[in-house]
Amino acid sequence: MIERIIRWMPQLLNGARTTIIITIISVSIGLVLAVFLALGKMSKHKILSAPCSAYIFFFRGTPLLMQIYFIYFGLPQLNPALTIRSAFVAALIAYVLNTAAYLAENIRAGIQSIDKGQFEAAKALGLTYGQTMRLVIIPQTVRRLIPPVGNEFIMVLKDVSLVAIIGLTDLTKVTRAISSSSATALVYIPAMILYLIITAFFTFIFNKLENKYSVYQ
């Protein structure tokens, strides 16, 4: 058994690297996009709030699996110019768009949890809406966002296993390939341990950030 695990480990680690890369990039870019979506949805102008609300509703209301399928297989049928030849890029786009929708709701809730008196105080000081958000509200919201962003990160980490459907070699696909070629399900043991190690590592990081910066202590 130990010899098998040693033999499988290079492939498993390579798949784990893909899983981690997609997760980090997706959550990082998704978080930036989520800020604009949240602010747009909260806007009093329908021209901003309507499309942002529709975006969030769509990506939260449809399965991630279908979104991946559509981006990789469906877009080329709508227009050949929309073809995404790289499975990695297609997966990133799907996860960024999906993650942004979920994080946008977290950000909106975080902003709305700030005492309204701070908005009034900033207005009394002569700050514009943009300055109020940038200098007063957003910095406080960031501290409240650490726990939900950490949860979303772990969820994405596990959901990346769906990329196997478009042929991307992540940890799950590698595990299934090894299981098929070696006719044994024992490879799932080191694979699950790897997932646990990765999850534990990032959970530790977010817990450290939460203990240092979060308002929920």
**What secondary structure does DSSP assign to 41-60, as a single string?**
HH-S-HHHHHHHHHHHHHHH
Predicted confidence at residue 1, as pLDDT, reads: 66
Show Cβ contacts of residue 197 under 8 Å, excluding neighbours closer than 6 positions: none
Predicted confidence at residue 33, as pLDDT, reads: 95
Predicted confidence at residue 154, as pLDDT, reads: 94
Predicted confidence at residue 143, as pLDDT, reads: 77
What is d(CA 59, CA 139) in angstroms, rounded to the nearest whole number? 27
Q: Is the pLDDT of residue 123 over 70?
A: yes
* Cα distances (Å, whole numbers) of residue 16 to 50, 58, 62, 205, 210: 39, 30, 27, 18, 25
Q: Is the pLDDT of residue 165 over 70?
A: yes
> Max alpha carbon distance in the chain (Å)?
71
> pTM of the prediction?
0.86
